[in-house]
Every structure is written in C-alpha cells, then in structure tokens.
Amino acid sequence: METDLFDISIIGGGIVGLATAYKIQKSRPDLRLLILEKEAVLAAHQTGHNSGVLHSGIYYTPGSLKAENCIDGRRQMVDFAFENGIDHDICGKIIVASQLDELPAMEKVYANGIKNGLTGVRKISPEEISEIEPFCKGVAGLWVPDAGIIDYVAVTQKLAELVTKINPYSEIRLGHAVKFFSKDAAQNLVHTDNAHFRTKKMIFCGGLFADRLARRQGVSIQEKVVGFRGDYYELTEGAEHKIRNLIYPVPNLDFPFLGVHFTRMTDGGIECGPNAVFTFQREGYGKMDFNLEDTLDALSYSGTWQLFKKNWRFGIGEYRRAFSKNLFLKTLQRLVPDLSEPDICQGRSGVRALLLNKRGDTRTDFRIARGEDSIHVLNAPSPAATAALAIADIIWKMADKEFRL
C-alpha cells in the first residue's frame, strides 16, 4: 500500500481529468494531487480519438451547460494554446444544406448560434460556399468563424506537465486501473490492479466507464453509459486539396451526432467522418470488437431498446455505411460531389460515451454528481474537449465548496 496521503485523487487521464487537475493546482498549489490513468499514456480514449475540432457552440440549446461551457471553454482553450505553443487554428467552418428540405433545420442552428452569443455567424449563398470551399456544393449554408482545430492530446500532455510543475509532490500514475474503494478511518483507499492509494477526496472523470465507477463508489444513478463507435476515412494525398478547412452538414438536432463531416487536422491531413454505430465493446475501436460484459450491460438495459425502437432506420443506415466504403462515399458526395472512391482510404475510429436514460434519450446535457467524498463527471460528450477548462471550473467550484480542504 502507498503510505503517502493525497488531498485529491482524480480518476481518469483524459482532457477533462487533466484540466480539472490543472485548475485545482493553479488555485491551490499546496494541495497534493494524484491522477490515475489505466492506460500507459494519457488521452488514450475519447480525447485521443475525436476529430480535434474546437467547437463554436452553435449547435447547443441556449442556456444549457453545453452551450455556456462550450463558448467559455473555447475561449479559454484558445488562450491556453497561445500561451503554451499548442498547434491550433481558428480557421472557421461552413455548415452546408445540400437539399432544400434541410433549410428549416439550418435556420434552427442559426437561431441557436445567435441566442448563444456567437459573433460573425452569417448565412451564405451557394456562390459564397464555393468561394470558401471550391469543391463543396450546397443550396445554402452558414459561415461560423469561431470554429477551429486543435491538438487535444498535446493539450492534455501540457496540462499534466503544468500540474507537476506547480506542485512537484503531485503525481500522475499510468497503468493503474481502478477496481474498488474502501475506507481506512477517515481516509479513502483507492484500489487499483497493482496498488492502493490513500486519499482524502476523489474526482471521477472516467468517460466510457463513468457509470460503473460511480456505482462502485456508491452513487445511485438510473442511467447507463452506452458507447457509439465512429469510423473515419481519410482523403488521400492527391485529394487533400479538395478540402480547405471544415465542412459540416446540417445536423438533425434530435440526435447528439453532427453527421459525417470534413476536418482538416493540425498535421495537415483531412479526415471524413465519423458515422455513429452502437458498439459491443465500450473501448472497441474495431468493427468486430466484442466484450461480453459490455454487451450484456447495454442490451439488458431498457433505455438501449427504447433508443433502437425510436431510431431503427437511422441505426440500420449507419451500420450499412460502416461496412460499405461506397455508401460512406455517397454520404460525403452530398457535400463534395467531385470525390471518387480512390480519393478516400480507411482511417481510425473512436468511441463516444453517452449517458442514456430509460426513455432512450441521448440529448442529455453535461452532468456532474456528488458522492461520498467525491465528485463524478457522469456525462461529458462532445463538446467536452472544447469545454474542458470551463467544465474544470465547475468541478473545482464544487470541490472547493464540498470538500472544504
């Protein structure tokens, strides 16, 4: 057993966990923090497998935590990137209606952006779409200048570096999967697969396993985390000139997914995707990955079946596209008709954690709950990476009030 006593242990080494550690350490350099991550590197899952977009905040319901924290978090993230030499570019993006029947949904997105206080958002004509993205075609669009791209893995690594620079007695332990918890007098014991750590308080940023960690720690929650895999294609080098920056379709606001889109990455490559398919393994990045516990957990939950029932046509379409390069290409051609099959090649995949209620509703806001000597980030889907520093402010405010350290 580790004999050292930590003030706060943060479970989860993604961007939200490290942003939280950074904000706490900046405010209270005297506190000794422990960050536990089960993988051999930080940002190994959702942080390192997303599209690397700095979201503007245009999609989210006005007044929601997603809207408020996306906008605040984006501003903080850009400032952090400037101060610390993180690769990023506020390049702007276009949201494109490829058909006339998408115009009402585009108007809703535009209205959200205005209500959320975005500046510079404007409607653009087909001619203006072509001026911004010469190979893109649409009947109308939106120009969103505040959107951009960033290297979230580099952000996470820099946050970790700053935490231990502020307080050299704080520690980051990799390769420590948390198994269970116990008490030793007034102290908490965090048991990993190869050590035990003594800590006064705990903050959980467990992503895809947020619900299980909460239940192990005695928090009563009705919902379950359900994973959705997103597959990406990449443009081949000869086709990269067809995309300048970011091109998004008009989303269906009834879903938490923004549709297959084009993203210029900070290394210059172009990604296309992701789709959204139910996954049979919470951290399964391959099309055939399977985990019995994860599958039984999801398929024994009524919320999963309610989701399937309400969205079966959407789900079948996503699965067909996941196994067909031609169908994926046809989706991309709605925005960029000039693309051909040789222009795209299979890329990486990611898995998104969604806290699903019993009604099968995936549109839930960010959610943070209290436990015994603990705080749990239960739901932090996109735009959580963009909003990470703002989410961390909320967590630290709760911790400062509740923990009384």
**Per-residue pLDDT for the chain (405 aa), expressed as one digit of tens each?**
566 899 999 999 999 999 999 999 999 999 999 999 999 999 999 999 998 999 999 999 999 999 999 999 999 999 999 999 999 999 999 999 999 999 999 999 999 999 999 989 999 999 999 999 999 999 999 999 999 999 999 999 999 999 999 999 999 999 999 999 998 877 999 999 989 999 999 999 999 999 999 999 999 898 999 999 999 999 999 999 999 999 999 987 666 677 899 999 999 999 999 998 999 999 999 999 999 999 999 999 999 999 899 887 878 888 888 899 999 999 999 999 999 999 999 999 999 998 999 999 877 899 999 999 999 999 999 999 999 999 999 999 999 999 988
Q: For the CA atoms of 45, 158, 149, 248, what is the dihedral angle to 10 degrees?
A: 30
- Residues 234 and 247: beta-carbon distance below 8 Å: no
What burial class does residue 83 get, using C-beta atoms within 10 Å of its C-beta: 0-12 exposed, 13-18 middle, 19+ buried?
exposed
End-to-end CA distance of the chain: 24
* pLDDT for res 1: 56
Nearest one of 378, 382, 375 to 396, comparing CA atoms: 375
Q: Which residues pair with 122 in a beta bridge?
A: 143
* pLDDT for res 377: 97
Half-sphere exposure of 128 (CA within 13 A, CB side): 14
Nearby residues of 371 by Cβ (< 8 Å), 6 or more positions away: 202, 204, 214, 217, 218, 219
Confidence (pTM): 0.96
DSSP per-residue codes, 135-154: T---SEEEEETT-EEE-HHH
Half-sphere exposure of 124 (CA within 13 A, CB side): 24
Q: For the CA atoms of 154, 155, 160, 163, what is the dihedral angle to 10 degrees?
A: 140
92 three-state secondary structure: coil
Q: State how far the Cα of 231 lies from the Cα of 212, in Å rounded to an integer.
A: 25
Domains of the chain are: 5-47+153-222+365-403 (3.50.50.60), 93-145+224-356 (3.30.9.10)
